[in-house]
Amino acid sequence: MSKIITENLNLWYGNFHALKDINARFQERRITAIIGPSGCGKSTLLRVFNRMNDLIEGVRTTGKVLIDATDILANNIDLVALRRKVGMVFQRPNPFPLSIYENIVFGERIHGGKSSRSKLDEIVETSLKRVFLWEELKDKLHKSALNLSLEQKQRLCIARLIAVKSNILLMDEPCSSLDPQATSRVEELMRELKNNYTIIIVTHNMQQAARVSDDTGFMLLGELVEFGRSEDIFTAPKDKRTEDYITGRYG
């Protein structure tokens, strides 16, 4: 079932045409990797899905982006509700300069009104368990999140999204600052999370894309050149430009 559908999606930064007629279907509870050389539009496409490009002056978008059949590019969209539903994990983890506990409940305090202590405790425990951090951190909840390792910070940022009930997770190079062992653990977490979440990951690491994703899209110069099952993209690409990229002939 398609969770996100783009129809003739175009985006300009001023006069620069960054996304060109993007047509794609992102399936529910699957991991989709977006690959391609630097500057090809991967992160721009990712930021369309929670309207973060709106924060950049001079951006103009045409076409449709349907999430659960609602066009999120419509003028009457509640952006706060959209960004709760569609969470984002960045290249470098960005925990707030607060305790681990307060990082997790931050969204609930902002959006959920006055919640009881027991409800907040439950949100913290559930969210940290989902990212396999509860056992490591349950006795350190009131210590600063800034003291965590890079991997723990990245997991914490994912837990923060889970706490506000995001059901789409956008990940922009989530492992680029992690060592191989930490990367492996975050990839394992992604495979576990896809049982309940739709995940879209932008990565320069084609081995990672092949390992973790169910579907892959290859972008070049703002175009979505090829999109399909990862197994097909990496073993039998239909477009020569895709083949050239994944075999290292350029990019």
Strand partners, 70: 67
| Rounded distance between C-alpha atoms, residue 73 and residue 184, angstroms | 35
| Rounded distance between C-alpha atoms, residue 198 and residue 25, angstroms | 12
pLDDT at 113: 67
Residues 6+ apart with CB under 8 A from 118: none
Domain spans of the chain, in order of start: 2-246
pLDDT at 78: 95
What percent of the chain is helix, strand and coil (3-state, nearest 5)?
40, 25, 35
Q: How confident is the model at residue 139 (pLDDT cuts 50, 70, 90)?
A: very high
CA 102, 127, 159, 170 torsion-angle sign: negative
The answer to whether residue 251 scores a pLDDT higher than 60 is no
Q: Determine what percent of the chain is predicted with pLDDT higher than 70.
A: 98
Per residue in 162-192, pLDDT (tens digit) is 999 899 999 999 998 888 999 999 999 999 9
The mean pLDDT of 62-67, rounded to a whole number, is 98
pLDDT at 112: 66
Per residue in 84-138, pLDDT (tens digit) is 999 999 988 999 999 999 999 998 888 766 789 999 999 999 999 999 999 999 9
The SS3 call for residue 62 is strand
Across the chain, what does the average pLDDT equal? 94
Is 45 in contact with 232 (CB distance < 8 Å)?
no
Q: Which long-range contacts (CB under 8 A, 24 or more apart) does 239-245 make?
A: 242/218, 245/35, 245/36, 245/37, 245/218, 245/220
Per residue in 140-168, pLDDT (tens digit) is 999 999 999 999 999 999 999 999 989 99
CATH top class, domain 2-246: alpha beta
Q: Please identify which residue in the block is written with the tokens 């994944």.
A: 246
Eight-state DSSP code of residue 116: -
Token readout for 57 is 């002056």
Token readout for 103 is 């990082």
pTM for the model stands at 0.93
- Of 6-20, 110-124, 206-220, least confident by mean pLDDT is 110-124
